[in-house]
Amino acid sequence: MTIALEGVGLTHPGGFQALRQLTLQISSGERVAVIGPSGAGKTTLLQLLGTGLMPSAGQLHLLGDDPARLQARGLKRLRTRIGLIHQSPPLPPRQRVITAVLAGRLGSWSLSRALVSLCYPLDIPGARAMLEPLDLDDKLFVRCDQLSGGQLQRVGIARVLYQRADLLLADEPVSAMDPVLADHTLALLNRIAADRGVTLVASLHAVDLALRHFQRIIGLRDGNVLFDRPSAQVSDDDLSALYANQSLAEQGHEVVRPARPAGLGAGTGILRTAPRCL
């Protein structure tokens, strides 16, 4: 069993209950899509599976470990085995694509190796091999702030693929891509997961993409599992129940992060007016 949740609940510090009493199992090598309306708790669930958040109730087992009970060392080792693809990849704008991709394996690299690689990228062929199927190998030495949103998302995917994780998590991995590219990228993710025999859990906004590419679908609503069945058995009734009565007001829940953090701009503005006499 790769993932096992038992009565897992998660309440955010603000008091918002994102997940309630979640119980589900995902076995090794399964490829699962999590769908549901905005604010259903998809991102929270994936962050929980990525050990970015700890459950406030219940039991969570990941790759045979309970992250809440692990010491720092064990948690670090577990984390190197889990890769999370972010909706808007958190990459420093000035970093080059090659460095951003190689950073995926920082968990298994020694500090000295990480330092040397910062001066001269140590595994250029390795990074190139990850970018090639994503059609980005020509951007290897380009800075991240020169890429479009879709290209950035693919860099984020390449980084996690380079990490060689046993559990692949993807939070809306294709939200910034056009339909053709999104289709291609999801197919690629599934093929790689199948080739490597690793587990893949992805949250998706587009139901058709989820049904087409994944074996198993979990419908999440208000922090509860509404349905959990093979994609062939997902009925229209399931879907309409999942998305029923969704008022527009609710759509504000999911946190939309700005695509690119502000770069140098603010800094230079201060410089020009900075007092001289200090």
Partner 1 sequence: MSKRLEALLWVMALIAALVASFSYLEMDLAGLFRSDSATQMLGYTQAFFPPDLSSGWLRQIFHGALETLAISAIGTLLAGLSGAALSLLAAGRLGRLAKASSRLLLNTLRSVPELVWAALMVLAAGLGPFAGTLAIALHTTGVLGRLFAEALENVPTAPAKALRDSGAGPVAAFLYGTFPGVLPQWVAYSLYRWENNIRMAAVLGFVGAGGLGQMLYVTLSLFQQPQAISVIIAMLLMVLLVDALSAWLRIRLA
Partner 2 sequence: MSLALARSDNRDPAAAPRLLITITLLVLLWPGLLLTEFNLVMLFDPANLGTFGRFLSGFWPPDLSPGFLRLLGTATLETLAMATAGLALALLVAVPLSLLSSRALSVSALLNGQTNSWRSAARYPVRLLLIILRSIPEIVWALLFVRAVGLGPTAGVLAIAITYSGMLGKVYAEIYESVDQRPARALLQAGSSRLAAFFYGILPGAVQELTSYTLYRWECAVRASVIMGFVGAGGLGQMIDLSIRMLAGGEVASILLTFLVLVLLADQLSTLLRRRLA
The interaxial angle of helices 179-196 and 149-163, nearest 10 deg, is 0
Q: Within its chain, how far is the Cα of 227 from the centroid?
A: 22
Q: Does 261 bind partner 1 (CB under 8 A)?
A: yes
Q: Which two tokens stand for residue 167?
A: 């559990």
∠ at Cα 79 (78, 84), nearest 5°? 135
Q: Does 255 bind partner 2 (CB under 8 A)?
A: no
Q: Does 50 bind partner 1 (CB under 8 A)?
A: yes
Q: Does 80 bind partner 1 (CB under 8 A)?
A: yes
Q: How far is the CB of 143 from partner 2 (least distance, A)?
A: 10
Selected binder of partner 1 within 35, 60, 62, 91 (CB under 8 A): 91
SS3 214: coil
Q: How many residues bind partner 2 (CB under 8 A)?
A: 14
Of residues 122 through 151, those in contact with partner 2 by CB under 8 A are 124-125, 128, 140-141
Q: Which is nearer to partner 1, 244 or 270 (CB)?
A: 270
Selected binder of partner 2 within 119, 270, 271, 274 (CB under 8 A): 119
Selected binder of partner 1 within 45, 48, 82, 198 (CB under 8 A): 82
∠ at Cα 46 (147, 111), nearest 5°? 65
Residue 36 touches which member of partner 1, partner 2, none, C-beta under 5-8 Å by kind: none
Q: Does 120 bind partner 2 (CB under 8 A)?
A: yes
Whether residue 203 contacts residue 46, with contact meaning beta carbons closer than 8 Å, is answered with yes
SS3 170: strand
Q: Does 278 bind partner 1 (CB under 8 A)?
A: yes
Selected binder of partner 1 within 3, 34, 43, 86 (CB under 8 A): 86
Selected binder of partner 1 within 95, 175, 224, 231 (CB under 8 A): 95
In our burial notation (b when 16+ CB lie closer than 10 A, e otherwise), range 41-53 reads bbbbbbbbbbbeb
Residue 274 touches which member of partner 2, partner 1, none, C-beta under 5-8 Å by kind: partner 1
Interatomic CA distance for residues 159 and 36, integer angstroms: 27
Q: Which is nearer to partner 1, 81 or 154 (CB)?
A: 81
Selected binder of partner 2 within 98, 147, 158, 242 (CB under 8 A): 98
Q: How far is the CB of 27 from partner 1 (least distance, A)?
A: 23
Burial of 231 (0-12, 13-18, 19+ CB in 10 A): middle
Interatomic CA distance for residues 234 and 237, integer angstroms: 8
Whether residue 226 contacts residue 40, with contact meaning beta carbons closer than 8 Å, is answered with no
Q: Does 109 bind partner 1 (CB under 8 A)?
A: yes
